[in-house]
A and B are shown apart, each in its own frame.
Chain A
Amino acid sequence: MIKIISEKCIGCGACEAGCPVGAISTASGTAKIDYDVCIGCGACVGNCPCEAIEQDEAAEEKIEEKPTTAEYKGVWVFAEQRDGALMPTVFELLGEGRKLADTLGVELSALLLGNGVEALAGELGAYGADRVILAESELLNDYNTEAYAKVVCDLVRERKPEIMLIGATNIGRDLAPRLSARLYTGLTADCTGLAIDPETKGLLQTRPAFGGNVMATIVTPNHRPQMSTVRPGVMKKAAYDTAHKAILDRAKVELSDGDIHTKVIETVKSLKQTVNLVDAEVIVAGGRGVGSAEGFKLIEQLAEAMGGVVGASRAAVEAGYIGADHQVGQTGKTVRPKIYVACGISGAIQHLAGMQNSECIIAINKNPDAPIFSAATYGIVGDLHKVIPMLIEELASR
């Protein structure tokens, strides 16, 4: 419940202007609240220059305290680690976070949760973090949604960052929505571009929709922190400089068994060799046009000749030519190699979404009208089963 103390009110209108739901009127000379409209968010309490607005305690318990956006400062990056190793996406987040922090003139912090992971702080500093907020507990040994959500939310409420970036890994995408729901703040998924609006100083979060054919820029005008998950492999990694050191900031962790309602029984690393598409400089990818699992041998040979790895379209994976760990595209990996060779791939928008930022795209396809040619740097209309052997020979002759 919000109360106006009329004796103190000067009718300046600061509360009226800052009310997110238009529940306050100062037309009569002092502020009046329309309680049918008021959501009790308390934004006006912080906006009032003369302490004429009060929020009673009971209401504060129930309703998320919402300080004004100006109280939130700093850029946070969630430093996801598994088994004591940082995920590669963290370095991409630090690269992007550094730019945002510099534009705003604020600190870049890495938020590191785990048990016995202090040694990672140096690496986070070298990749550009000014501060490493370290939260350690035995209960944070394995990733656990509820434990992580509680610790991160407690820290956000206490320290109030204006921006929080989280890698869109399976774990990041499990945690981030839980945080945003609890904090009543906006979350934008799988961003591919981040920038600061020069006027509002708000975060402009750009993400592809409909398989990358439409881009949407999303803002979170009145809620903080502004939260984004960022698709791994899209942003450039931060520069590595061992001379750059971060302040190690140990946070107090209040966590008990009672906070956790799920139990990890076991975690198993997949034994199959994983294809490192994301870090590859050259990817040779095959689609339905390859024709068979046998046909992918040719793709492998070209990849070997170019020093690259094998990728595939969804059509090739679904036809059973090759495993899903090779899949590039909206439901597979997003890649940006120096050279991407698309062989027998028609170029559905879902595939283009995953590879269109490659530096040089070479398309080989029988169909001159295949959409892949619109994304290609160089296109060859022809049968890949004839063109690729010639290309391998040509490369071998150099």
Chain B
Amino acid sequence: MKIIVCVKQVPDTTEVKLDPKTGRLIRDGVPSIINPDDKNALEQALVIKDQNPGTTVTVVSMGPQQADVAMREALAMGADEAILICGREFAGSDTWATSYIIASAIKKIGDYDLILCGRQAIDGDTAQVGPQIAEQLGIPQITYVQDMRIEGGEVIATRQLEDGYTVMSAKMPVLLTAIKELNTPRYMTPQGIFEAYEKQVKIWGFADVPVDEARIGLAGSPTNVNKTFSPEPKAKGEMLEGADRNTVKSLVDKLVEKHLL
């Protein structure tokens, strides 16, 4: 079986701190990681590979040269092949253009039975690229997958809903998006790390991916960022001094006064 896993390298937003004076993000020194949901997707591919000898796992990512680190980690976890789509022509792509580029790269790879993506990336939280890739490839999708198995040529997957779950089946090829409930990602092994350095991360530039230049990058993206701004600071709060009976009494008084209680 041939599995493609789409991953993204992201800043570890749980490590993002605020500057207490300016209230702005401190981005310096924030480590880059494989996006958590994408790691669940990769783990699932590796589990299938463990159970089905002869399965190959190809990791695909789009990002800057530095994303090479994430690719090496994926190889050290057990992926067979890693392709990093990288080029200035791709910069500024929104989710539409990103999915178009990745789908075009997957078409070039050609042969696949299963595509696994993370549900969403922690830096953007859009959850759009997975389903958009499925649409661009014209294959079905099952999102928010918390459990899955393969039976014959079919994938049986459990999709999480807010109020329960749905069990679904789909003939392959199909694209799934993984959530953290799906599994616990393995760690790299020393052996894996050693072997990863024997492998090559393939870099695919603009010339290597068959795309229409008019549909990629900033110019080809349907959405543009109009502006970014800091949220309006809230009115300065009031600190109630002391932590005694009088403090809680004055708190309840204030709530009653404002008709909140």
Give complex CA distance A219, B256 in Å.
Answer: 43
B32 within 8 A of A: no
Stretch in A105-113, A154-162, A289-297, A367-375 touching the partner: A367-375
B110 within 8 A of A: no
Name B157's closest neighbour in chain A (CB-CB).
A262
Alpha-carbon gap, A31 to B100, bound state (A) = 31
**Segment 357-388 of A: residues with Cβ below 8 Å from B:** 359-363, 369, 371, 373-383, 386-387
On whether A215 and B243 interact (CB within 8 A), knowing A178-B134, A398-B252, the answer reads no
**Given contacts A181-B99, A263-B168, are A189 and B126 in contact (CB under 8 A)?**
yes
Contacts of A212 in B (CB 8 A): 231
Interface string of A203-233 (1 = CB under 8 A from B): 0100011111111111111110000000000
- Taking a contact as CB atoms under 8 Å apart, the answer to whether B132 and A180 are in contact is yes
Q: How far is the CA of A216 from the CA of B227 in the complex (A)?
A: 6
* Smallest CB separation, B234 vs chain A (Å): 6
Whether A390 contacts B245 in the complex (CB less than 8 A), given A21-B214, A219-B224, A262-B170, comes out as yes
**Smallest CB gap from B124: residue in A:** A209
Q: Is B183 an interface residue, CB under 8 A from the partner? A: no
**Complex Cα–Cα for A391 and B161 (A):** 37
Given contacts A178-B135, A216-B225, contact A146 B215 (CB under 8 A): no
Query: How far does the Cβ of A315 sit from chain B's closest Cβ, in whole Å?
Result: 10
B164 and A268 form a contact (CB under 8 A):
yes
Q: How far apart sit A242 and B126, CA to CA, in the bound complex (Å)? A: 36
Query: Known interface pairs A330-B125, A386-B243. Does A391 touch B251 (Cβ–Cβ under 8 Å)?
Result: yes
Q: Are the CB atoms of B131 and A214 closer together than 8 Å?
A: no
Given contacts A220-B222, A262-B169, whether A178 and B132 have CB atoms under 8 Å apart is yes
Chain B CB within 8 A of A185 CB: yes
Docked-complex contact A266 and B260, CB < 8 angstroms: no
Tell whether B95 is near chain A: CB-to-CB under 8 Å.
yes
- A214 with B141: CB separation less than 8 A: no
Let me know if A37 is at the binding interface, CB within 8 A: yes
Known contacts A187-B128, A189-B124, A356-B234; 16 additional CB pairs below 8 A are A142-B166, A170-B143, A174-B131, A178-B141, A185-B222, A213-B16, A215-B229, A338-B260, A348-B14, A349-B16, A360-B255, A361-B237, A371-B18, A376-B237, A380-B240, A390-B245
Chain A: number of interface residues, binned into ranges: 35 or more
Chain A residues with Cβ below 8 Å from B166 are 142-143, 264, 266-268
Instruction: State which residues 231-261 of B face A: CB under 8 Å.
Output: 231, 234, 237-240, 242-245, 247-249, 251-252, 254-256, 258, 260-261
Is B141's CB under 8 angstroms from A215's CB?
no
For residue B254, which residues in chain A have a CB less than 8 angstroms away from its CB?
A: 378
B188–chain A nearest beta-carbon distance, Å:
23
A391 to B126, CA, bound (A): 40
Contact A186:B243 (CB < 8 A) given known A380-B251, A394-B252: no
A339 interface residue per 8 A CB criterion: yes
Q: Are A262 and B142 within 8 A (Cβ)? A: yes
The answer to whether A377 touches B164, judged by C-beta atoms less than 8 angstroms apart, is no
Chain B interface size band reads 35 or more
Chain A residues within CB distance 8 Å of chain B: 20-21, 37, 39, 82, 142-143, 145-146, 149, 169-171, 173-174, 176-178, 180-182, 184-190, 204, 208-223, 261-270, 274, 306, 330, 338-339, 348-350, 356, 359-363, 369, 371, 373-383, 386-387, 390-391, 394-395, 398
- Do B228 and A209 have beta carbons less than 8 Å apart? yes
In the A-B complex, the 10 residue pairs with the smallest Cβ-Cβ separation, listed nearest first, are A382-B243, A186-B222, A181-B135, A186-B223, A189-B126, A177-B131, A177-B128, A223-B222, A181-B132, A39-B214
Chain B residues with CB below 8 A from A39, complex form: 212, 214-215
Q: B161 to chain A: which residues have CB within 8 Å?
A: 170-171, 267
Q: Is the interface of A mostly helix, strand, loop or mixed?
A: mixed
Chain A residues, Cβ within 8 Å of B20: 369, 371
B261 contacts which chain A residues (CB < 8 A)?
306, 339, 395
Distance from A257 Cβ to chain B, minimum over Cβ atoms (Å): 13
Q: A146-B140, A181-B132, A189-B128 are in contact. Are A391 and B170 (CB under 8 A)?
A: no
- Could you tell me the distance between the alpha carbons of A190 and B127 in the complex, rounded to whole angstroms? 10
* One of A211, A274, A395 near B13 (C-beta < 8 A): A211
Decide: A217 near B227, CB < 8 A? Known: A265-B167, A268-B164, A394-B248. yes
Best-surrounded residue of B123, B170, B237, B255 (most CB of chain A within 10 A): B237
Most chain B CB within 10 A, of A82, A170, A377, is at A170
B23 within 8 A of A: yes
B198 at the interface (CB under 8 A from A): no
Q: How many Å lie between the Cα of A397 and that of B154 in the bound state? A: 63
A154 nearest CB across to chain B (Å): 15
* 13 A/B residue pairs, CB under 8 Å, sorted by A: A178-B131, A178-B141, A180-B95, A213-B231, A214-B230, A218-B223, A221-B224, A264-B167, A267-B166, A268-B167, A269-B164, A381-B239, A390-B244
| Distance of A164 Cα from B104 Cα, bound (Å) | 27
B48 contacts the other chain (Cβ, under 8 Å)? no
Query: Are A182 and B135 in contact, with the CB atoms below 8 A?
Result: yes
A130 to B76, CA, bound (A): 57
Interface flags, B118-149, vs A, CB<8A=1, else 0: 00000111111111101110011111100000
A187–B96 touching, CB < 8 Å: yes
Please state if B237 and A210 are interface contacts (CB–CB under 8 Å).
no
Q: Name the CB-closest residue of A to B219.
A: A21
Q: Report the minimal beta-carbon distance from A350 to chain B, rounded to whole angstroms.
A: 7
B68 within 8 A of A: no
Q: Cβ of B99: which chain A residues have Cβ within 8 Å of it?
A: 177, 181
- Give A31 Cβ to nearest chain B Cβ, in Å: 18
Residues of chain B within 8 A (CB-CB) of A360 are 255, 258, 260
Are B13 and A210 neighbours in the complex by a CB distance under 8 Å? Answer: yes
Cα(A169)–Cα(B161), bound, Å: 8
Nearest chain A CB to B261 CB, angstrom units: 7
Interface presence of B226 (CB below 8 A): yes
